[in-house]
A and B are shown apart, each in its own frame.
Chain A
């Protein structure tokens, strides 16, 4: 089992005490499997992705990736997890502003020790970024930035891809191309993919769909 989440809970501090966001979420994902995560805005989709991606700590419950319990990892352990095992694509502001597109695409792969220049070039081409390679993030449109972030994650070939509305600000054709690339990676490396999306079309291309409602999965 690539990912096993059991009984996960998370609350954020509010003005009148803690506000629970996730209340005992459980799910499983096998290698090569794809999963669409849906739910209303504010239902806790991003929160769940952050917890699985080793970006924040859960209040209770257990997350195991590749059989290893990651819930109790310390800061360096989580950092290693983010470097080597999971790849997170955020809704926005993903890029390192001081590096150009080429360096941004290579960044995570180099951190993980899996850099392959030919593969990075191929991804840039497939996502229509070849002309932007020497530009800096501030010189790109929001959609271009998002494609760079996706290329970066795919170039690093993580075992688990976590994508948070990655196609939110892309047009339909580009969104479809992005989807192709993600599914190609899954097919090629057997990675697992968990993606938050509002689009029924995109969700339909993934193997399973889960709904997050009132802190629980349905």
Chain B
């Protein structure tokens, strides 16, 4: 049994952690929170230089072809640091969509730019405050031209390309769209988590290049979301651990009734519950990482399992971290809310937990049939 990350992978983790501590501390995150920049350009450049964007992209498409386990390691550290960069949109969503359904030419055309950081990609599925379905997606595609409104689109205001879900005569399909086309407007929108930028994108007769088979869009999205769920789950676990560490640190130093609040059981046991949830999620994430890395047929189940578990852990840990901080935790000035915001963003970005729980049970029903 070797259900662990290897020594090399742990070295990569150390390297990632120290890079992020240096170039992407919570101070940097707050600059994005309070400023106008959509992301931290310097941290982003640094990640590109370290080759992170090409971690799991095969060498033939310009990546460094390390693999998914390495990408998971990086994702956990990105989650811990709350990195305000378009990494996930470009790497977990756009690149995964191209890798999953792209033709050989499309892979050759789009992946090198992602790997080298020359371009930023994203995925445009949602159309407002409701769960998307193959039926209710209103964006239309006809004769290779797309029209419709997508929001929120993660990093839609900074991305060069997007994979867009739209309905054609054949049903829901995916298209690669060049967002610099004149027919496209992208407008930043205010969201719960200003440390990650989102946009409203309007397409009007915009040229789109079919990705995968026409009518196969929902199915491809399912596969992309499975891979992305594992990677985001690592971000969630990283964030949950960071919130737990922060709560612990504060509890040790804050005094009330003449003693550290960490001596009160209500606080100790709360921290233990955060720890237990985070450890269970971490273990499920390892399962997800293994399934992703080995292209296992268990991936759909593993992905849902680690996503649900990590969503719960991050929610628990980030909300109770605020509670442990008392009034301080409710201030803009303290960092607790950064984790709380991010935890909510990550719990809905691939669809909400009720839907994932339902999908998990459906997948288990299929597996047991």
A, B co-complexed: no
